[in-house]
Amino acid sequence: MGKNVVGKIDNNVKIRTVLMSVSDKSGLDTFVPGLVEMNPDILILSTGGTYGKIKEILGSKAEKCLQKVSDYTGQPETQGGLVKTLDFKIYLGLLTETYNDAHQDDLKRTDALAIDMVVVNLYPFSQTIEKQGVTVEDARGNIDIGGPTMIRASAKNFIRVASVVDPGSYTEILDKLKVNNGSLSLEDRFALSQKAFSHTALYDSTIAGYLGAKTMNEVQSCYKSGE
């Protein structure tokens, strides 16, 4: 199969479908109502504690605007939330291109939606390893998989998708949406992509530094042998 080359995109993309899953829930109480006010027909897909927080924020409006990722994909979350968003339907929605007929056919075939914005921040790995007495298992449990994958997919597809990783950006994003009739420009999306890749790069380098400094004795001390 030949390499896909994109030749046509839209400068402005209206935010209709948002995927939201955050560890740091600060700012959601203004950002979420702001998104809904901008587009009353918006759909927010969410998981776990983020879903619960958004439902609380939106109140009666949640019934129309909010859906669990598991209901959208048809796949329930695994025990402990180990797998929540790693699903073909989600990543087709993140990576699909507007002017690619095959992609549009795939959306129809799977009854999937093109996702226009991802709002994600990651498990608190840095904060975890700074705690007194933290173990390798404590750290391992706070290595986020779905979060970086969503961020990287949306940031790669900045030609259509906005990747939002910093709660400090919420106010500016709402301001841009207000000025631009509920849309974000290519310039906006590209700037968010730059920030997103810096975010995941720092996250991964922190994990690599922590694990790289550990000895096998420190690792083995956390676990009983199954043999």
Question: What CATH number is attached to the domain comprising 168?
Answer: 3.40.50.1380
What's the number of domains the chain is made of? 1
Confidence of residue 215 (pLDDT cuts 50, 70, 90): very high
Residue 122: pLDDT band with limits 50, 70, 90: confident
Poorest-pLDDT segment among 58-62, 82-86, 190-194, 198-202: 82-86
222: helix, strand or coil: coil
Global pTM reads 0.90
In a domain, 144, yes or no: no
Residue 127 placed within a domain: no
What does the pLDDT read at residue 72? 92
pLDDT score of 114 = 96
Mean pLDDT on 7-12: 92
Residue 142 lies in a domain: no
Q: What is the pLDDT of residue 84?
A: 62
**Would residue 117 count as lying in a domain?**
yes
Domain that holds residue 57: 13-122+150-203
Tell whether the model's pLDDT for residue 88 goes beyond 80: yes
Per the model's pLDDT, the better-predicted residue between 76 and 52 turns out to be: 52
The answer to whether residue 194 sits within a structural domain is: yes
Report whether pLDDT(80) > 60.
no
81 pLDDT above the threshold of 70? no
Question: What pLDDT does residue 78 have?
Answer: 60
Amino acid in position 176:
K
What confidence score (pLDDT) does residue 227 get? 62
Q: How does the average pLDDT of the chain come out, rounded?
A: 90
Question: Is 128 within the bounds of a domain?
Answer: no
Query: Does residue 216 lie within any of the structural domains?
Result: no
Q: How confident is residue 129, by pLDDT bands cut at 50, 70 and 90?
A: confident
Share of the chain above pLDDT 70, in %: 93
- CA distance linking residue 101 with residue 108, whole number of Å: 11
Distances (CA, A) of 49 to 25, 98, 99, 148: 9, 31, 35, 18
Largest CA distance in the chain: 63
Q: What is the pLDDT of residues 161-185, one digit of tens each?
A: 999 999 999 999 999 999 999 999 9
CA distances (Å), origin 200, targets 21, 45, 83, 129, 217: 15, 22, 19, 17, 29
